[in-house]
């Protein structure tokens, strides 16, 4: 670039000759030069601005375009994501304590219809009614020809049904995948498992939710994908449960009972090995609860957990154990049993007259109401309440069933002296068989409180002591005597030293009072008596034994033989070898004078 001089000599000389100021020329040139520079700078700046503008435009366009594509494209999981943490099943399996499946999932299909795209509606309705006998052809046709654009026809299809529907060939009949809950063992443990149904439903999938039993109680656990498909392991034993249900069913039919319940519990851990309630139902096809009638008569009703009954003489051992624990009596103390015992306008009688006095042990062995009431009088109301509370008879059982919190024991509104006396032998307080099993386990396992559970436990947690191990052993001895030479002689299973107590309670009449010919027969037992491992409670509702001259309803003739058969069948299954017992002391009598 040629630089123009600010004071060109020629022009300066010219200007001098004309008498002008040559500085004007310099200023003029300087001005021109500055204008020049300014124009150049502006041009360069404009150019740079343009470049920056284009750059930013491109950058924003890029960001915008990316956003646009992200917004409009299909969602896709990142392909390179580390695998392994995939969801295995929508709902975890439920297994028994040995890992055998009690509930699992099966992929199946649901059937829905879109009437606007159906071709031959009459034919489709006719064929569907042929495939599914429970569907009505005219009703289907009505739905197809109505205004509806979408309707569910079947929630679950078997593969054969799906193929048959497919063969109809109507484009308006469509299938959606479904995961359904399958209980492969059918009715087995139905009250524990409860059942499942569909929650929110879409065409492509449906939520499976638990509606009763452990399915409902552990709904959150079973649906939690964090568990990675880990099954819920229950404390039940499939084989034992099956045998218990079979024997109980046989006993119930043989004794013309309306219902039956059995609980087999580990005496130390509180794990429920078997929990049966009859009549039962198939959880694969759970019926809705009955709209009318007594809900307790429905097969859905869990008698072992939900049913609260007066459990009768099985309670006597609690009274006696408490009296022994407090040191008021020992097994040989003589109790006055002259009857009937009058208290105000009430009279307490025994089933039979057992004479004017009995030892505490004989009160249990012969099951004397009067004797137990007398012992309860020694204990007093408050201590009785406290003891029963420590055994869990005041609260619903904490077992993991959704029905359990609803089964609150029925306590007398006012715990008077007479309530105390009747409760001492099991009348006036209603509790579920599970309460009774828990109480027996706590009292007889050495005196440590157990918490009933349906989940397999690892290791034993020590509970609070309820009674001393000595009292527990004395109580077991008494119950053993009740079996060897008392009211429960049918309960003696050779080799397993069963100890237990019968209980026969008249059923309360809804119109007031009690029925004469309807009883709840209960047998609560523990075996083996010398080293208690399991507690078994069998309850029969309205049993009657008709082999004799007149119908017999006492538990000794009804619940006890059933329980004995359960023990005979179940103990070997649990690996309990029979022990060689010492000969019973028949013929050796203590001199009494």
For the annotated catalytic residues, the residue numbers are 313
Look up residue 334 and give its two tokens. 């003589």
> Closest distance between another protein and the C-beta of residue 43, in Å?
35
Instruction: Please say which residue, 505 or 564, places its beta carbon nearer to another protein.
Output: 564
CA distance 534 to 528: 8
Verify cis geometry, omega within 30 degrees of 0, for the bond prior to 279: yes
The DSSP symbol for 296 reads G
Decide whether 146 or 184 has the Cβ nearer to another protein. Answer: 184
> Are residues 265 and 399 in contact, defined by beta-carbon separation less than 8 angstroms?
no
Alpha helices in 80-176 (DSSP H): 121-131, 137-145, 159-168
Angle ∠(298,300,305) on CA atoms, nearest 5 = 105
Q: Which is nearer to another protein, 105 or 368 (CB)?
A: 105
Q: Do residues 56 and 49 lie in contact, with contact meaning Cβ atoms separated by under 8 Å? A: no
Start-to-end CA distance of the chain, whole Å, equals 147
Tokens of 288: 């809705």
Query: 19, exposed or middle or buried, with CB in 10 Å at 0-12, 13-18, 19+?
Result: exposed
Residues 174 and 190: their CA atoms lie apart, in Å, by 33
Nearer to another protein, 149 or 253 (CB): 253
- The size of the chain, in residues, is 593
CA 483 to chain centre: 34
283: helix, strand or coil: helix
Q: How far is the CB of 308 from another protein (least distance, A)?
A: 30
3-state secondary structure (DSSP) of residue 421: helix
Tokens of 176: 């959606």
Backbone φ and ψ for 308, nearest 5 degrees, come out as -105, 125
Nearer to another protein, 407 or 483 (CB): 483
State the minimum distance, in angstroms, from the CB of residue 186 to another protein: 6
Chain contacts with another protein (rule: CB under 8 A): 79-80, 83, 86, 88-89, 100-101, 104-107, 182, 184-186, 188, 238-239, 242-243, 246, 493-496, 568-569, 571-573, 577-578
Smallest gap from Cβ 156 to another protein, in A, equals: 14
Contacts of 46 (CB under 8 A, 6+ apart): none
For residue 377, is it left (φ>0), alpha (ψ between -120 and 50) or beta?
A: alpha
Nearer to another protein, 186 or 289 (CB): 186
Query: Considering beta carbons, is residue 210 or 503 the nearer one to another protein?
Result: 210
Nearest residue to 188 (alpha-carbon basis) of 278, 258, 315: 278
Say how far apart CA 536 and CA 440 lie, in whole Å. Answer: 9
CB of 373 to another protein, least distance (A): 39
Residue (52 or 88) nearer to another protein, CB: 88
Contact between 212 and 194 under an 8 Å Cβ cutoff? The reply is: yes
């Amino acid at each position: 670039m040629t630089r123009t001089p600010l004071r060109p000599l020629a022009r300066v000389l010219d200007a001098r000759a004309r008498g002008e100021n040559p500085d004007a020329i310099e200023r003029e040139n300087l001005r021109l030069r500055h204008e020049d520079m300014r124009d150049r700078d502006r041009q360069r700046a404009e150019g740079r601005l343009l470049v920056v503008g284009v750059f930013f435009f491109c950058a924003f366009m890029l960001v915008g375009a990316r956003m646009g594509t992200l917004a409009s494209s299909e969602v896709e999981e990142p392909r390179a994501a580390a695998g392994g943490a995939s969801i295995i099943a929508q709902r975890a399996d439920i297994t028994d304590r040995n890992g055998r499946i009690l509930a699992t999932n099966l992929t199946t299909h649901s059937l829905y219809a879109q009437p606007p795209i159906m071709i031959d509606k009459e034919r489709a309705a006719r064929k569907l009614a042929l495939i599914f006998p429970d569907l009505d052809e005219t009703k289907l046709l009505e739905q197809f020809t109505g205004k509806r654009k979408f309707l569910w026809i079947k929630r679950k299809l078997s593969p054969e049904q799906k193929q048959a529907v497919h063969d109809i060939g109507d484009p308006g009949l469509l299938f959606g995948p479904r995961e359904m809950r399958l209980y492969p063992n059918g009715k087995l443990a139905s009250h524990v498992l409860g059942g499942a149904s569909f929650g929110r439903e879409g065409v492509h999938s449906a939520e499976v939710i638990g509606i009763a039993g452990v399915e409902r109680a552990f709904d959150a656990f079973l649906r939690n994908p964090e568990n990675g498909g880990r099954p819920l392991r229950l404390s039940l034993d499939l084989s034992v449960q099956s045998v218990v249900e079979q024997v109980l069913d046989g006993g119930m039919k043989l004794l013309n009972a309306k219902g039956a319940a059995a609980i087999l519990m580990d005496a130390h851990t509180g794990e429920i090995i078997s929990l049966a309630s009859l009549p039962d139902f198939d959880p694969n096809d759970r019926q809705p609860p009955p709209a009318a009638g007594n809900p307790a008569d429905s097969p859905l009703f869990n008698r072992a957990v939900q049913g609260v009954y007066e459990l009768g003489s099985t309670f006597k051992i609690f009274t006696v154990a408490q009296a022994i624990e407090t040191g008021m009596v020992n097994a040989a103390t003589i109790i006055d049993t002259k009857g009937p015992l009058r208290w105000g306008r009430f009279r307490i009688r025994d089933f039979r007259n057992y004479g004017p006095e009995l030892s505490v042990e004989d009160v249990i062995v012969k099951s004397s109401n009067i004797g137990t009431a007398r012992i309860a009088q020694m204990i007093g109301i408050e201590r009785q309440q406290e003891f029963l509370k420590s055994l869990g008879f005041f609260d619903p059982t904490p077992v993991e069933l959704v029905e359990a919190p609803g089964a609150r024991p029925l306590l007398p509104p006012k715990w008077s002296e007479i309530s105390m006396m009747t409760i001492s032998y099991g009348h006036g307080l209603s509790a579920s068989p599970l309460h009774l099993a828990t109480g027996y386990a706590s009292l007889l396992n050495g005196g440590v409180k157990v918490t009933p559970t349906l989940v397999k436990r690892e290791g034993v947690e020590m509970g609070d002591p309820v009674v001393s191990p000595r009292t527990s052993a004395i109580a077991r001895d008494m119950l053993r005597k009740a079996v060897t030479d008392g009211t429960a002689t049918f309960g003696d299973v050779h080799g397993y030293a069963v100890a237990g107590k019968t209980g026969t309670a008249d059923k309360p009449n809804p119109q007031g009072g009690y029925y004469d010919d309807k009883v709840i027969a209960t047998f609560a037992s523990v075996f083996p008596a010398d080293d208690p491992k399991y507690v078994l409670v069998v309850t029969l509702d309205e049993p009657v034994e008709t082999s004799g001259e007149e119908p017999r309803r006492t538990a000794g003739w009804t619940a006890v033989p059933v329980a004995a058969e359960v023990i005979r069948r179940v103990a070997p299954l649990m690996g309990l070898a029979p022990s060689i017992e010492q000969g019973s002391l028949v013929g050796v009598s203590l001199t009494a004078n």
